[in-house]
Structure 1
C-alpha cells in the first residue's frame, strides 16, 4: 500500500506540464504548437529562449528528483528507482496534458541525482561533453543515459538496478525515434548550426 502511494504520487508529480505552464503563463505561447511540438526543456529553449529552457529543464528534473529522494528514505534503492519510473512516465504521458509529454531525459537526470547525487553530477558532465563533441542534444542525451547506467552498475554491482536503468535508457531511445530518423536523414537540429 505504501509503495502504491509513492507510485501514484510520483506519477502525478511527473505529470506537471512545466513547459506548457511556463510558456502560457509568461510568454502566452503553447510550445506544443511550435518547434518540435514537444513540451520538454529543449523545445522550450528553442521556442521561448535559453533562460526559459533552463527553467523548464530544472523544474522537470526537480519534479522527479524529489519523489525519488523521499522514496529512498523509506524504500529500497530498487523500489525508489521504480518510483522514478512512475514519475518519468508521468512526464512522458502526463494526465494533465492529454498524455502527450516530454522525452524523459530530464526525468532520467532526476532519478540519477536522487539515487546518487555524485553520479548525477557525473551524468551532467558526460552529457555536456557529448553535447559539445557531437553538436546534437539528442545524441548526447541518449548516449549519456547508457554510459551512466554502466557506471552505476560498476559502483553498486546491483543487477536489478542495472535492468531498471537499462530499460529506462532504451525507453528514452524509443521516445527519440523521430530524432534518430532526422539524424539518419541529416536534418536533426544542431546545438550550433554553424558547425
Structure 2
C-alpha cells in the first residue's frame, strides 16, 4: 500500500506539474511568462493568446487535477485521496518543470473539487461565476471561491479529510494571489478583458 501510494503521489505531482499554459502559449509563438501578468494560467493565456487557447488550458489544467484524484477514490482510503488532492494542486503551483514555480492553482483545484464532490464543485463554480460576472475580477472570484470551498465541501460531503485538504488548497490559492490582493486593495487590479 505504501509503495503504491508513494508511486501514485509522484505520478500525480508530475502530471499536475505539466505547464500546459506555457506549452499552449509556445504553440502560438508566445511565452506567457513574459507577457500579460506573466502567469501560466488560463486567464493570462486568454489575455495573451486568445479565448480558445485559454479555454483549452483551463480544461487541461482542470483535468490534471480531476483525473488522478477521481481514480484514486477507487484505489485508496479517503484520507489518502485527500492527500493526493493536495499533491495535485501543489504540483501545478510548484512545478518541478518550472523550478518549483507555477500557476495559481484555480483550474487544477476546481478539477480536484469535482473529483471529490460534484455537488460541492458545482456550487463553488456557480459562486465563482456570480462574483466574476458581478465584479469583472477573476482574482476576486478565485480568492473568494477558495475561501468558501472547504466549508461547502464539508457541508456536502461531511468528510473531515476532504475538508482539511480543501482548506489547505484554499490557503495555497490565496497565497498565490497575494499580489492580486495587494493590487485590489490599492485599486490597481485589472478587470478581466477578453482578447479575440
State the TM bucket, normalised to the shorter chain.
Answer: over 0.9
CA shift digits 1:15-65 (9 cap, x unpaired): 11101111111x111100101111011111111111111111110000111
2:10 to 4, 8, 11: 8
Could you say which structure has the greater relative contact order, defined with CA pairs below 8 angstroms and 6 or more residues apart? 2
- Write the distance in 2 (CA, Å) between the matches of 1:190 and 1:78: 38
Farther-moved stretch of structure 1 (64-73 vs 138-147):
138-147
Shift of the alpha carbon at 1:86? 1.2
Counterpart residue number, 2:26: 24
CA shift digits 1:110-157 (9 cap, x unpaired): 111111123222222111011112221111011112223211111232
Given the two structures, how large is their TM-score scaled by the length of structure 1?
0.93
- Write the distance in 1 (CA, Å) between the matches of 2:179 and 2:71: 34
Confirm or deny: 8 A CA contact 2:120 2:156 kept in the other structure. Answer: no
For structure 1, the residue ranges without an aligned partner over 5 or more in a row are none
Query: CA RMSD, aligned part only?
Result: 1.5
Shift of the alpha carbon at 1:192? 5.5
Query: SS state of the match for residue 156, structure 2?
Result: helix
Counterpart residue number, 2:98: 97
Confirm or deny: 8 A CA contact 2:65 2:88 kept in the other structure. Answer: yes
Given the two structures, how large is their TM-score scaled by the length of structure 2?
0.92
Confirm or deny: 8 A CA contact 1:77 1:115 kept in the other structure. Answer: no
- Write the distance in 1 (CA, Å) between the matches of 2:82 and 2:108: 11
- Write the distance in 2 (CA, Å) between the matches of 1:133 and 1:115: 28
Counterpart residue number, 2:153: 152
Aligned length: 192
For structure 2, the residue ranges without an aligned partner over 5 or more in a row are none
